[in-house]
Structure 1
Amino acid sequence: MCYEVRPSKVSRMSAPAAPSHRPAAPATLVSPVSRVAPATAAAPAAARPGLDWRLRFAALSTIWGFSFLLIKVGTDGYAPLQVTLGRVFFGTAVLGAALLVKRERLPRGLRTWGHLAVSALLLNALPFTLFAYAELTIPSGLAGICNATSPLWGMALSLVALSEDRPTRRRVAGLGIGFLGVLTVLGAWQGFSGLDASGTAMALLASFCYPVGWIYVRRTLAGSTSSPIAMTGAQLALATLQLAVVTPLATSAPAAFPLWPTLAVLALGVLGTGLALQMQYGLVVEVGPTTAQMVTYFIPVIATAAGVLVLGESTHWNTPVGALIVLAGAALTQSRPKPRAGA
């Protein structure tokens, strides 16, 4: 999750600016992303990184797309809760190092930390864990496609929870198309045969957690004076604390530390969480939220390709076709009609 500061309102990769129901990222695994607003919409030219933003956009899409593969490899050697704990721990370490380099302070105030604890649960600890459990029984590519439904859940929730988001024909059509895509991915006409119902349900529930968290952040942490990295770092630290309490109670200590699962968890935390959130925020500042959030639409494509090519996962025609329908619906819910001339 990444915070972006705008004038007095919170606007998902986080991952992740745009109104809170819009994703820009997975977990993280997207992750997804929510933000509490910067005062500037674009960085001064002198402050922009030397690497072209298009290359960073491609790198971010690849990192987050491969996050689902890394989760799958991690669960080959560790319990799902252990994978998630390692992920947020190493992600927190990266953001903590960034805060030290930038000499920025963590947020202050018990009220702020209380709200951050709730957002840490909704945007990090719970969805990351659900995806890890889901991938015990479903392909990593399917998990990545389920993650792409976050904008659809977000739009549906925002129509109810956020008074400024009014239903329009375009948005309602996008929701309908998107959920038709979900049914296509799941093969509804076959009675969902061949799918693990519990694993798929957990992946969809994980994607549902993100917009719930974004709306919560938008209602409670708008107008924070802390920097986006400080807010995100504090949130990940709280997620680490939450998981550090729960994991020993629910799992036993690992008997060994196998190489590839260990490297996968390390990469998931360092690259897919800590570094990716900083990259995403940098893109938002440089090119704006509309362009930056388009990374969301590449994640399921990369996740599916990585699962097939690297892990040898099988896929049927309805999976990529359904994914394209989901993405088309999600894009439609977030599009805006062009203003009329003279309006």
Structure 2
Amino acid sequence: MSRGSLVRLVMLALLWGSGFLWIKLALRGFTPVQIVLVRLALGALVLIPIALHRGLRFPVDRATWGHLFVAALVANAIPYTLFGIGEQTVDSGVAGVLNATTPLWTALIAFVVGTDRTATWSRGAGLTLGFVGAMVIFTPWKSASEVASWGGLAILAASASYGISYVYMGKFLTNRGIPPIMLSAAQLTAGTILMVLALTLGGLTVPDLRFDAVISLLILGVLGTGVAYVLNYRLITDDGPTLASTVTYLLPVVAVVLGFLVVNEQMTASMVLGMLLVLAGVALVQRRPQRSKVSDPLPLGRNRNGGR
């Protein structure tokens, strides 16, 4: 993994690692559908002016927009809404553990559809180790009733939807000459349209504009959606869907460290052990098999489509 990709992975983990907390706080004033609509709209409003200022233009062909709407459905509308529904009854820590199944879903789906059949011992061990580490951090067996609840199932379904989205975006949207920032702006625009259509499903109630809920929603939209999706698309483009999806293993690590540093939450020995397992798992997944100079003469960090 190139140094630039590693930096983007860490930044994305920081942005998304705090997302479970912001969703929990935003639910104090908004419904799940309202949260998804506002965060997608804010993300689009942040990225569209930047993309246009750089001289980029929205895609014009129907096929690309069709793929963008599908991507917005499985990467934004469905999982974001399911997370909001799930966290009404499930703690954010349990949500973090269930979300850590995303790389497993991604690897399975990518293998089944044939977009990524790189089956090495290091990748398999890394995926398993990362998930075990996430479980050790949050010890979900102490909250078994939440994991096995309807809220837990909703979050598990959201994680599977994320897995589908990584593979779908990697197959139909990346490496097609569209810069990541424009892909992100267009997808968030498509997602906003979908959520406007979904307003009748629990989004027409009057929100409670309390300060903590509004600020949390602003952070979710501007940083956790707009900025994060540019990083996400670049990672998928440069390193593939399975490797990019391992960012979800780092989210529990970020949540624990932020809780310890910001609000003085306790950090136990099991949490430290779990974080070490997660980092080891991510390192194993990122490890690529050795290639000969003849078969792969490209410089480190560049793919065959010019990415870095």
TM-score, structure 2 as length reference:
0.76
Query: In the alignment, what sits opposite 2:70?
Result: 118
Report the CA distance shift for 1:137/1:306 in structure 2 as closer, same or farther (over 3 A).
Answer: farther
Report the CA distance shift for 1:179/1:79 in structure 2 as closer, same or farther (over 3 A).
Answer: same
Report the CA distance shift for 1:313/1:78 in structure 2 as closer, same or farther (over 3 A).
Answer: farther
**Per-residue CA distance 1:239-283 (angstroms, 9 max, x = gap):** 111111112333332253212101111111011111233456678
Unaligned runs of 5+ in 2: 296-308
Q: Quick one: which amino acid aligns to residue 268 of structure 1? A: L
Report the CA distance shift for 1:123/1:284 in structure 2 as closer, same or farther (over 3 A).
Answer: closer
Q: Which residue, 240, 247, 257 being the options, matches 2:199?
A: 247
- 1:77: Cα distance to partner? 1.0
Query: In the alignment, what sits opposite 2:81?
Result: 129
**Per-residue CA distance 1:206-239 (angstroms, 9 max, x = gap):** 2221221122233333552332222221111111
Higher helix proportion: 2
Q: Which residue, 93, 98, 106 being the options, matches 1:146?
A: 98
Task: State whether residues 75 and 132 of structure 1, in contact with CA within 8 Å, keep that contact through their aligned partners in structure 2.
Answer: yes
Distance in 1 (CA, whole Å) between partners of 2:127 and 2:228 is: 28
Q: Within 5 Å, which residues of 2 pair with 1:231-310?
A: 231-278=183-230, 289=239, 296-306=248-258
Query: In the alignment, what sits opposite 1:157?
Result: 109
Q: Which residue, 201, 211, 215 being the options, matches 2:153?
A: 201
Give the stretch that moved more between structures: 165-174 or 78-87: 165-174
**Per-residue CA distance 1:99-122 (angstroms, 9 max, x = gap):** 221121101111111111111101
Identity of aligned residues (%): 35
SS in 2 for 1:192: helix
- 1:164: Cα distance to partner? 4.8
Report the CA distance shift for 1:192/1:323 in structure 2 as closer, same or farther (over 3 A).
Answer: farther
TM-score, structure 1 as length reference:
0.69
SS in 2 for 1:249: coil
Unaligned runs of 5+ in 1: 1-16, 19-40, 43-52
Query: In the alignment, what sits opposite 1:88?
Result: 40
- 1:78: Cα distance to partner? 0.8
SS in 1 for 2:201: helix
Distance in 2 (CA, whole Å) between partners of 1:328 and 1:204 is: 24
**Per-residue CA distance 1:61-113 (angstroms, 9 max, x = gap):** 43222222111110111111111111101001011111221121101111111
Q: Within 5 Å, which residues of 2 pair with 1:54-93?
A: 60-93=12-45
Give the stretch that moved more between structures: 92-101 or 187-196: 187-196
**Per-residue CA distance 1:14-65 (angstroms, 9 max, x = gap):** xxx99xxxxxxxxxxxxxxxxxxxxxx98xxxxxxxxxx96x8765543222
SS in 2 for 1:103: coil
Give the stretch that moved more between structures: 306-315 or 121-130: 306-315
Query: In the alignment, what sits opposite 1:102?
Result: 54
Task: State whether residues 126 and 283 of structure 2, in contact with CA within 8 Å, keep that contact through their aligned partners in structure 1.
Answer: yes
Report the CA distance shift for 1:252/1:195 in structure 2 as closer, same or farther (over 3 A).
Answer: same
Report the CA distance shift for 1:242/1:339 in structure 2 as closer, same or farther (over 3 A).
Answer: same
1:217 aligns with 2:169: yes
Task: State whether residues 155 and 333 of structure 1, in contact with CA within 8 Å, keep that contact through their aligned partners in structure 2.
Answer: no
Give the stretch that moved more between structures: 155-164 or 229-238: 155-164
**Per-residue CA distance 1:288-322 (angstroms, 9 max, x = gap):** 65998886554221223445776898998766655
SS in 1 for 2:200: helix
| Number of positions where the alignment pairs a residue of Structure 1 with one of Structure 2 | 292
Task: State whether residues 71 and 265 of structure 1, in contact with CA within 8 Å, keep that contact through their aligned partners in structure 2.
Answer: yes
Task: State whether residues 46 and 222 of structure 2, in contact with CA within 8 Å, keep that contact through their aligned partners in structure 1.
Answer: yes
Computed over aligned residues only, the root mean square deviation of the Cα atoms, in angstroms, reads: 3.9
